[in-house]
A = this chain, B = another copy of it.
Amino acid sequence: MTDLVCVQTDDFDLAGEYRRLRDISSRVGAVVTFCGLVRDFESSASDIDPDAPINNLTLQHYPGMTEALLADIIAQAKTRWTLYGVTVIHRIGTLAPNDQIVFVGVATEHRKQAFDAAQFLMDYLKTQATFWKKVTADGKEQWLDTKGSDNDAVAEWGKSRDD
* Residue of A23, A35, A36, A39 with most partner-chain B CB within 10 A: A35
A31 contact from B15, B34, B38, Cβ within 8 A: B34
Stretch of A70-78, A108-116, A132-140 that contacts chain B: A108-116
User: Contact at B29–A32, with CB atoms within 8 Å?
Assistant: no
Q: Please judge, given known A-B contacts A14-B15, A115-B119, A118-B115, whether A35 and B30 are in contact too, CB under 8 Å.
A: yes
User: Contact at A37–B14, with CB atoms within 8 Å?
Assistant: no
Q: CA separation between A119 and B113, bound complex, in Å?
A: 11
DSSP class of A's interface residues: helix, strand, loop or mixed?
A: mixed
A residues contacting the other copy or chain, number (CB 8 A): 34
What distance in Å separates the Cβ of A22 from its nearest Cβ neighbour in chain B? Answer: 6
A27 contact from B31, B35, B36, B41, Cβ within 8 A: B41
